[in-house]
Structures are given as structure tokens and as C-alpha cells.
Structure 1
Amino acid sequence: MNDPVPALGSIIRNSRGSNCSWNDSKWLPHFLRHEVERGIAYRLQERAWGGLPIDLCRELDGRATISVPGQKPEKTGPRLRLKPGNRLVRRWRGTTYSVLVTEGGFLFESRSYSSLSTIATEITGTRWSGPRFFGLTERAA
């Protein structure tokens, strides 16, 4: 199999027309050009040899951070992965509540629900994020 990355320059030139060169600073600022090149090179490699395994992609997504200039980076946190049979337990105002994760959603007090937030709202009497109520996500600092 041929290495697709060395052909990157000609692919970009051909896609932009014969009158433009990849080094034309009017098309893209210099510091972004390298990021675009890296992104295109990755996609070419991904098409030729396949991408990362899905479980590794999920792990990387869970470790990602959101960065805003002048602010502390915000961790996106791992994605919620509940499996059928998991039990979520929460003590609220002296009463312990238990929710069973099922194939189609959640089972709480012998009733099926599609949303943890609906269950949390029913327990508290006020609107809550279900994942936050059951301790599945961290509270923002």
C-alpha cells in the first residue's frame, strides 16, 4: 500500500486550483496551516490503514479538555457508561433510593423511565440533572 501522506501537498494544490499555492498566506494563517495539514494527513492515513479502535476513541474523548483563552481549562469528563444490571443508590433527606439500569432505561419503584433526570425530579420535587443527582458527574467548580 502506498503512503498517502507525501502526496498531501499535491492533493491540496489540486483541490484549490492551479493559480493558488499552499503557501499562499491569504488562504490560511501560517499557524493554522500546520494544523490543517496534520488533520488532513491523519484522515488520509485513517482511510488507508483504518482509524483508532472505538474504545480508545471513547477513552480519549473522556480525557479531553475544553480550553478558553484566559480561563482555566474545563475537563469534559468521561462519558456516561451504564450497563444493564447496574444499580444507582442515593440517599436524599433520610430516605435511600435505588434505581436499576435496564436495557431500555431505568427502573425505579416498579416503573420504567427513559431518563435519570425524570427520576431525580420525582424524588426531589424540583428539577435536577439525573446524572449529577446520582453522583455520575462532578459539579462544576
Structure 2
Amino acid sequence: MNLALWIAAGLLAAVALTGGVTKTFVPKEKLAAAHGGGWTGDAGVGFVKTLGVLELLAAVGLILPAALGVAPVLVPVTAVCWVLLMAGAMITHGRRGEFAFVLLNLAYLALAAFIVWGRFGPESFTG
């Protein structure tokens, strides 16, 4: 179970890192033209960049606290935040009729929920 949770956290951290780098450093106009990025055309630059920074922080928060043994409770807390972020992403894509992205966000949400359950529950770092 511990290995599965580490793998899930690693996969989710890779997703967060990729999305975070893209939203933080790619110009909004280029994002809006990309497949699945149309929502950025309706959002302000600051909002998109803020989401990018939050995703970068999530990538760090899913791995480093446990790997370094410093406040490892931040791993499931970060996963809870990711669940909330994905719920918002699902609403946004759903309103735009982008149901393939809703399903993708649902998969990311499920992965984060697994981490929340496992790290607050049977494979807690504190127990």
C-alpha cells in the first residue's frame, strides 16, 4: 500500500509540475489556442498564473515533505487541496462542454482522494 501511495503521489506530482510550469510560464494567448486550454481565454492572466504557482506548490507538497521527513502531514493536506482544484477544473470544463477533460480531471481527483485516504488513514506518516 505504501508503494502504491508513493507511486500515486509521484504521478500526481508530475501532472501538477507539468500543468504548473505551463500555466506559469507559457503566455496566456498560447495556452488559449492549445487543445483544452480554451478556458484561459475567459480568465485573467493573474488567475492563470496563480493556478500555475499553486500547481507547482502542489508538486512540491506531494513529495518533499514525506521524502525529507519534514511535516509529512502536508502530503495528504496537499492532496485535499488538489481534490478541490480538480473539482473546480471539472466544473469549468463541464460548462464548456469539454467532457473528455472532465473525465481526465476526475481521474486526477480520484488519485488525489486515494492519497488523502491512504495518508490520513492506514499508511499515515505519523502512525
TM-score, normalised relative to structure 2: 0.26
Relative to its length, the structure with more helix (as a share) is: 2
Relative to its length, the structure with more strand (as a share) is: 1
Structure with larger Rg: 1
TM-score, normalised relative to structure 1: 0.24
Q: Which has the higher contact order (CA 8 A, sep 6+)?
A: 2
